């Protein structure tokens, strides 16, 4: 009886050792790389959204300040208001990162807002009193800082997605995606066109 129990214990220990060894081998072969890179990309995307929201929150005060000095620039003011509404009112789907159409819509809306803001800031050149207004200068500074943060957040997201998508396309990541992470899909990334690269001009002259 004692011999049988010892034999059963040894078998259990042997199976546990084999299982542990297999787990260690799997972890060493990058089995966790896909979910790790995916979470990093999602975290980077959250930072992109945070910075775009920060920009959107600055716009109402900027509009009110400009309106006080350049109320007749109605077309420009309206374009910014409409672009902001479009960029913030659209519901971002949960699968936006893997849906090319949804991602393109998001990027286009933000690009339109960037363009409208550039036109708004440009008209300040025609209004010396507006350019000297302390509230306007403070908002300009905050907007410039936010645009820089957006650029950094987008850069970090692009790099995180590059790592994730590369893992899905290369060995051994392709194997793990096939057998373990069949739901994993390539993520969308920002296209770098001329308008996207343009940061609203902020002048302190």
Residue 133 backbone class (left: φ over 0; alpha: ψ -120 to 50; beta: rest): beta
Give residue-wise pLDDT tens across range 68-99: 999 899 999 999 999 999 999 989 999 999 99
What pLDDT is stored for residue 60 in this prediction? Answer: 97
Local structure of residue 32 (DSSP, 8 states)? T
What pLDDT is stored for residue 10 in this prediction? Answer: 63
Q: Is 88 exposed, middle or buried (0-12, 13-18, 19+ CB in 10 A)?
A: middle
- When pLDDT is cut at 50, 70 and 90, the band that residue 4 belongs to is low
Give residue-wise pLDDT tens across range 11-45: 666 665 555 455 445 545 688 999 999 999 999 99
Give residue-wise pLDDT tens across range 116-140: 999 999 999 899 999 999 999 999 9
Local structure of residue 193 (DSSP, 8 states)? -
Q: Cα(185)–Cα(102) distance, rounded to whole angstroms?
A: 15
């Amino acid at each position: 009886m004692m011999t049988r129990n010892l034999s059963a214990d040894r078998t259990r220990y042997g199976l546990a050792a084999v299982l542990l060894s297999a787990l260690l081998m799997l972890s060493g072969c990058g089995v966790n790389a896909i979910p790790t890179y995916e979470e990093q990309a999602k975290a980077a995307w959250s930072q992109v959204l945070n910075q775009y929201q920060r920009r959107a929150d600055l716009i109402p005060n900027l509009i009110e300040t400009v309106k006080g000095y350049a109320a007749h620039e109605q077309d420009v003011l309206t374009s910014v208001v409409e672009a902001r509404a479009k960029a913030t009112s659209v519901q971002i789907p949960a699968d936006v990162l893997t849906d090319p159409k949804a991602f393109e819509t998001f990027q286009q809306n933000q690009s339109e807002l960037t363009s409208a803001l550039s036109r708004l800031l440009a008209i300040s050149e025609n209004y010396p009193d507006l350019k000297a207004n302390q509230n306007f200068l403070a908002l300009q500074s905050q907007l410039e800082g936010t645009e820089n943060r957006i650029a950094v957040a987008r850069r970090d997201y692009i790099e995180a997605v590059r790592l994730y998508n590369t893992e899905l396309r290369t060995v051994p990541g392709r194997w793990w995606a096939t057998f373990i992470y069949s739901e994993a899909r390539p993520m969308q990334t920002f296209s770098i066109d001329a308008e996207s690269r343009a940061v609203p001009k902020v002048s302190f002259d």
